[in-house]
Structure formats: C-alpha cells, structure tokens
C-alpha cells in the first residue's frame, strides 16, 4: 500500500489480489464489525455507507494508476486525487462480515487525468459501480 497515502481508519483497501498495469486491478476490503462508521450507520442494522464503497473503488483506481503511469518507473513519487465520479449505481448493501471485491479497469487518460470503470461485488453479487476519474500530482515528501 505504499502508493496510497491513506491510513486507518480511512484505508479501505486491504489487499491487492491482481494487478495488470494499464489494464485492471482487483482488490479486497474485508468489512469487519469493528469499522468505526458502523456505530452510527446504522446501529440496529449496520451497512457500509455508499460513499465509502465509492472511496474504496477510488483508492483502487489510485493503485492501478500508480502501477500504470510512466512515473511509476521514474524517481518521482506521485499521488492520485479523486476528481470525478459519474454513473454511480448501488444495488446491494454491504454488511459487517462481507468481503468487498473491488475491480477497476483502465479506460483512458489524458495528461494527468485518468478514467476507470469500477465495480464492487460481494460473493459474486453486484454491489455498486461507477466511472471514476483521478488526477496525478507530484507527492510532497
């Protein structure tokens, strides 16, 4: 996770299970009962907030962009910021104990803006999807 600046409690990618630079990345987020957001969303029926599912997908796009960008081979350390989210759709709630599978596919990039097709599922069941854009910037060290 060296390419992500996020840390607990906002690191929402636990493990990358497949990465083909310039093509796709598959990662997982194990959703535990101890997630801090479950205290308020919702105490009697905890579900992962949709915005955090989108954030998990956005973090996965940052990982794929980091592995795919020419800068990844150079000396510059880059960071990728979420700059756009289109066509977001949600179908199924994510509950404690679920393993959220995050799949992001490279669509295109122009200069420092990258676009990805993203989907999340649990046990093969569609959870959410979106087209996510991120922008590259040099990381301040």
pLDDT tens digits for range 40-70: 999 999 999 999 999 999 999 999 999 988 6
Whether 82 is covered by a domain: the verdict is yes
Whether 88 is covered by a domain: the verdict is yes
Percent of the chain with pLDDT over 70: 93
Mean pLDDT of 126-135: 98
pLDDT tens per residue, range 65-113: 999 886 554 557 788 999 999 999 999 999 999 999 999 999 999 988 9
Read off the DSSP letter of residue 75.
S
Whether 58 is covered by a domain: the verdict is yes
More confident residue, 32 or 138: 32
Q: Which residue range(s) make up the domain with 120?
A: 15-138
Whether 134 is covered by a domain: the verdict is yes
φ, ψ at 57 (rounded to 5°): -65, -40
Distance between CA atoms of 57 and 26, rounded to whole angstroms?
Answer: 10
Whether 55 is covered by a domain: the verdict is yes
Distance between CA atoms of 95 and 37, rounded to whole angstroms?
Answer: 11
- 83 alpha-carbon distance from chain centroid: 13
Whether 63 is covered by a domain: the verdict is yes
pLDDT band at 3 (very low <50, low <70, confident <90, very high): confident
Active-site entry in 5, 16, 37, 41: 41
Distance between CA atoms of 134 and 27, rounded to whole angstroms?
Answer: 18
- At 33 the pLDDT is 95
Whether 124 is covered by a domain: the verdict is yes
Strands (E), 1-141: 15-20, 24-30, 78-90, 99-110, 113-122, 125-138
| Single pTM value for the model | 0.94
Number of compact structural domains in the chain: 1
- Collapsing DSSP to helix, strand or coil, 94 comes out as coil
Q: Say whether 41 is catalytic.
A: yes
Whether 30 is covered by a domain: the verdict is yes
Question: Looking at residue 51, which CATH number applies to its domain?
Answer: 3.10.129.10
- C-alpha separations of 89 from 19, 32, 59, 71, 74 in Å: 24, 23, 18, 32, 36
- At 139 the pLDDT is 82
């Amino acid at each position: 996770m060296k390419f992500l600046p996020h840390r607990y409690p906002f690191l929402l990618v636990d493990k990358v299970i497949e990465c083909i630079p310039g093509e796709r990345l598959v990662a997982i987020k194990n959703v535990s009962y101890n997630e801090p957001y479950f205290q308020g969303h919702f105490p009697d029926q905890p579900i992962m907030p949709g915005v955090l599912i989108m954030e998990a997908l956005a973090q996965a796009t940052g990982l794929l962009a980091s592995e795919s960008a020419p800068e990844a081979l150079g000396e510059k350390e880059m960071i990728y910021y979420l700059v756009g989210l289109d066509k977001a759709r949600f179908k199924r709630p994510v509950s404690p104990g679920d393993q959220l599978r995050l799949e992001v596919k490279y669509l295109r990039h122009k200069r420092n803006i990258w676009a990805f097709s993203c989907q999340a599922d649990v046990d093969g069941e569609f959870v959410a999807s979106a087209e996510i854009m991120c922008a590259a910037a040099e990381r301040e060290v």
